[in-house]
């Protein structure tokens, strides 16, 4: 296996530190959410961000897009959104018709033909429209009129959603959830963070303006692809991979979880650990990398039982207990 050179490791860590700092110019607090979003980007994965309205989910996505010179599209998911509004459609061009013909079909590419796609409030659209992203997220292509069209690389879906209890939301299908590498839960900021947010967003600024003017582009397409290439080369000891497998398997028969994480969850856990190691300036993953990524990589791949819900337990509480029950290897 090809090894990462020391200068490549140093350069990658510097790029990611700069990107993190630029996103932080607009996103106050939420450092864990920013770091996990960067992990998903480096791991060539997609991320689902959940939180009540007004916590900065959309701002995080816009700040990341502005910090990179990549193509960016946004789709506001609504109950009347159609799958063709996301992927694209074909129209009959009657201006091109010849002798006796009706014309030719011309393909209009949808907003998914971009580098960074923000699927805003994805769970406000019905399952039919949500499922239009399945092929996009798994195979990085769109099939229009029987023809497969490849998406530009790098490609990342950043989806935001409100909690399922919020009025007017539809739960995402399990197959859709499984396509997201990580699920990030954004909570309320601390007192000092909220104070800083209010000052940043209200000082000499209209109410509809985002604090994005300080965010400067610092990464281009080639640099992002290089980071993703290096993440694939991060070394993973067999004992660490076995640790990730044992964590995922522990969720399958853990009390309070009616359904555990499958093999795709284990793969996502290792991919996220590799990206986290690269962000930390290392060319190998440790058990701590796996443990830290267990919750964001697995929380959307398990289902809590009704009895556990009645007891007031949360998915994160049960996942944390399952993870902690697995003995970490000593390297």
Domain ranges of the chain: 32-190
pTM of the prediction?
A: 0.89
Q: Name the more confident of 75 and 130.
A: 75
Per-residue pLDDT band at 171 (split at 50, 70, 90): confident
pLDDT, tens digit (0-9, with 9 covering 90-100), for 255-284: 999 989 999 999 999 999 999 999 999 999
Q: What is the pLDDT of residue 288?
A: 96
Q: Average the pLDDT over 307-312 and give the result.
A: 90
Q: What is the pLDDT of residue 205?
A: 59
Fold (topology level) of 32-190? Rossmann fold (3.40.50)
Q: What is the pLDDT of residue 52?
A: 79
Range with top average pLDDT, 58-67, 74-83, 142-151, 230-239 = 230-239
Q: Give the 3-state secondary structure of the chain.
A: CCCCCHHHHHHHHHHHHHHHHHHHCCCCCCHHHHHHHHHHHHCCCCEEEECCCCCCHHHHHHHHHHCECCCEEEEECCCCCCHHHHHEEEEEEHHHCCCCCCCEEEEEECCCCCCEEEEECHHHCCHHHHHHHHHHHHHCEEEECCEEEECCCCCEEEEEECCCCCCCCCCCCHHHHCCCCEEEECCCCCHHHHHHHHHHHHCCCCCCCCCCCCCCCCECHHHHHHHHHHHHCCECCHHHHHHHHHHHHHHHHCCCEEECCCHHHHHHHHHHHHHHHHHCCCCECCHHHHHHHHHHHHCCCCEECHHHHHCCCCHHHHHHHHHHCCCCCCC
For residue 47, is pLDDT > 80?
yes
Q: Average the pLDDT over 142-167 and give the result.
A: 83
């Amino acid at each position: 296996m090809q090894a990462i050179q020391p200068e490549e490791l140093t350069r990658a860590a510097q790029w990611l530190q700069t990107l993190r700092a630029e996103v932080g110019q607009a996103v106050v607090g939420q450092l864990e959410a920013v770091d996990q979003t960067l992990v998903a980007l480096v791991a060539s994965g997609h991320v689902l961000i959940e939180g009540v309205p007004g916590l900065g989910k959309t701002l995080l996505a816009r700040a990341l897009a502005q910090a990179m010179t990549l193509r960016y599209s946004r789709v506001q998911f609504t109950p009347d959104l159609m799958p063709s509004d996301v992927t694209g459609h074909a129209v009959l061009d009657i201006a091109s018709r010849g002798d006796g013909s009706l014309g030719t079909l011309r393909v209009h590419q949808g907003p998914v033909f971009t580098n960074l796609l923000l699927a805003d409030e994805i769970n406000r659209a019905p399952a039919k429209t949500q499922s239009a992203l399945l092929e996009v997220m798994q195979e990085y292509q769109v099939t229009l009129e029987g023809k497969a069209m490849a998406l530009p690389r790098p490609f990342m879906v950043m989806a935001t959603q409100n909690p399922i209890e919020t009025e007017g939301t539809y739960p995402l299908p399990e197959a859709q959830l499984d396509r997201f590498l990580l699920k990030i839960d954004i909570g309320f900021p601390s007192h000092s963070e909220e104070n800083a947010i209010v000052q940043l967003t209200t000082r000499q600024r209209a109410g509809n303006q985002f604090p994005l003017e300080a965010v400067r582009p610092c990464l281009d397409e080639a640099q992002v692809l290089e980071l993703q290439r290096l993440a694939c080369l991060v070394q993973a000891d067999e004992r660490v991979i076995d640790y990730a497998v044992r964590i995922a398997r522990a969720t399958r028969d853990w009390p309070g979880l009616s359904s555990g994480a499958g093999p795709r969850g284990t793969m996502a856990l290792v991919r996220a650990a590799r990206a986290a190691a690269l962000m930390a300036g290392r060319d190998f993953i440790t058990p701590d990398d796996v443990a830290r990524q267990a919750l964001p990589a697995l929380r959307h791949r398990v289902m809590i039982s009704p009895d556990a819900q009645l007891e007031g337990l949360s998915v994160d509480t049960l996942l944390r207990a399952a993870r902690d029950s697995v003995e970490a290897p000593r390297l």
